[in-house]
Amino acid sequence: MKFIDEYRDAVAAKRYAEAIARATTRPWTIMEVCGGQTHAIVKFGVDMLLPSAITLIHGPGCPVCVTPVEMLDKAIEVASRPEVIFCSFGDMLRVPGSTRDLLAVKAAGGDVRIVYSPLDAVRIAREHPDRQVVFFAVGFETTAPANAMAVVHARRQGLTNFSMLVSHVLVPPAMEAILASPGNRVQSFLAAGHVCTVMGTTEYEPIARMYRVPIVVTGFEPVDILQGIFMCVRQLEEGRAEVENQYTRSVRREGNQPAVRLIRQVFRVCPRKWRGIGEIPRSGLGLAEAYADFDAEDRFGVADRTADESPDCRSGLVLQGVMKPPECPAFGTRCTPEHPLGATMVSSEGACAAYYHYRRERLPEALPVTEP
């Protein structure tokens, strides 16, 4: 497909790998903060093309993975109510709450539906005026415009049976939390290309300055990621710490202004708990005062629910880049996609799931297949 295949080109990938190897004179540690990038790196094997001096760490870039347990419990409680049609992105259905997941609610007869857009949930609300339709609004800044749009549409159409369970998270505060934590080894970041398409790149400039880390806004295809890594390495080798943009075909410094305006209209910044990490101040989005009547937590009275994280799950350490999934004692034994201890083993962008599906075994060399 045009504008996708060119960025999966094997020859370009190899040339980038060589350029990176030539440019690297010392060990460097780079973190990528986007689940889509984690997925692409492990699926295409990008990290296997890099020189050993470069360490790639997977950051908390998977919104499904960082959704706190109590939010899952709230979702499960709401979805179990007979009058509710609970709409969600597919990924959330297998994430374990304290006792079960949304798929179990569906199996027990709950009306849980997979949608591809919150706008679909609004349509369902319009088509079922006798039911309460709840959308599980999980995501980084990338999905915020769509979620905001859904709320605005619902208000315009006068829908009283639509609400959202909001668990939005923001990237820059998470990056700062990682950089500020003692024992941090991250020296450079690949920033998420689609988050920045929406929000622009200016929020990262103070971070780069304050912590002296290069930040390169990067796309998702293997060639994009390799180019982003090259740009990080070059900055690191030259002692620079700036925000650079690799994903220029989609990202502009000022971002998408209509989208940002929409987000500011519907949402406000609030503290947010991150599964496995804890609460990070000013790291989430919640509904603004003017749209508070669309908040499902209030409508269904579940705002006060709390839950404890599983003591066996170490996904927090994985999400902060302190541990690689295969280093976790439960990896592949007590924790598998069929019996996950945490979200990172379930979400298709979770680091644990990516390693389980693509790297579980010691990998033999890639064999080219030739005609006889």
Partner 1 sequence: MEGIPEFSLSCPIPISDYPHILLAHGGGGTLMHQLIEQMFVPAFRNPFLDARHDGAVLAPDGVRLAFTTDAYVVRPLFFPGGDIGSLAVNGTVNDLAMCGARPLYLSAAFILEEGLPMATLWQVVQSMRRAADVAGVQLVTGDTKVVDRGKGDGIFITTAGIGAISHRLTIAPTSVRPGDAVLLNGDVGRHGIAIMAVREGLDFETTIESDCAPLAGLVGSLLEAGIEIHCLRDLTRGGLASALVEIAGAARLRIAIDEGRIPVREDVQGACEILGFDPLYVANEGRFICILPSSEVERALRIMRAHPLGAEACLIGRVTGDPPGLVTMRSRIGASRVVDMLSGEQLPRIC
Partner 2 sequence: MGEDPLMRTGKVSFGGILKEVNLACVPEVKIGDYVIVHAGLAISILDEEEAARTLEYLQQIEEMGQSTQGSA
Binding site for partner 1 (CB under 8 A): 1, 4, 8-10, 13-14, 34-36, 42-46, 48-49, 63-64, 89-91, 93-94, 103-104, 106-108, 114, 116, 138-140, 142-143, 194, 222-223, 332-334, 336-339, 348-349, 356-369, 371-372
Measured from the CB atom, the residue of 211 and 220 that comes closer to partner 1 is 220
Distance CA 204, CA 196 (A): 10
If DSSP codes are grouped into helix, strand and coil, which group holds residue 113?
strand
- Of partner 1, partner 2, none, which one does residue 153 interact with (CB within 5 to 8 Å by kind)? partner 2
Considering the rule CB under 8 A, would residue 197 count as an interface residue with partner 2? Answer: yes
Considering the rule CB under 8 A, would residue 279 count as an interface residue with partner 2? Answer: no
- Of partner 2, partner 1, none, which one does residue 291 interact with (CB within 5 to 8 Å by kind)? none
The residue from 37, 67, 256, 347 that contacts partner 2 (CB under 8 A) is: 256
> Least Å distance between CB 122 and partner 2?
10
Nearest to 96 by CA among 316, 275, 272: 275
Distance CA 304, CA 297 (A): 9
What are the Cα distances from residue 307, in Å, to 72, 157, 304, 320, 366?
10, 36, 10, 21, 44
Distance CA 6, CA 36 (A): 18
Question: Which DSSP category does 366 fall into?
Answer: P
> Least Å distance between CB 230 and partner 1?
15
Are 294 and 154 in contact by the 8 Å Cβ rule? The answer is: yes
Considering the rule CB under 8 A, would residue 331 count as an interface residue with partner 2? Answer: no
What are the Cα distances from residue 202, in Å, to 68, 186, 214, 251?
28, 21, 14, 11
> Least Å distance between CB 326 and partner 2?
31
| DSSP letter for each residue of 308-342 | PPPTT--HHHHHTTSS-GGGSTTBTTTB-SSS-SS
User: Which positions touch partner 2 (CB under 8 A)?
Assistant: 1-3, 6, 12, 15-16, 19, 22-23, 25, 89, 116-120, 139, 142-143, 145-147, 149, 152-153, 156, 194, 197-198, 224, 227, 230, 234, 237-238, 246, 248-252, 256, 258-259, 262
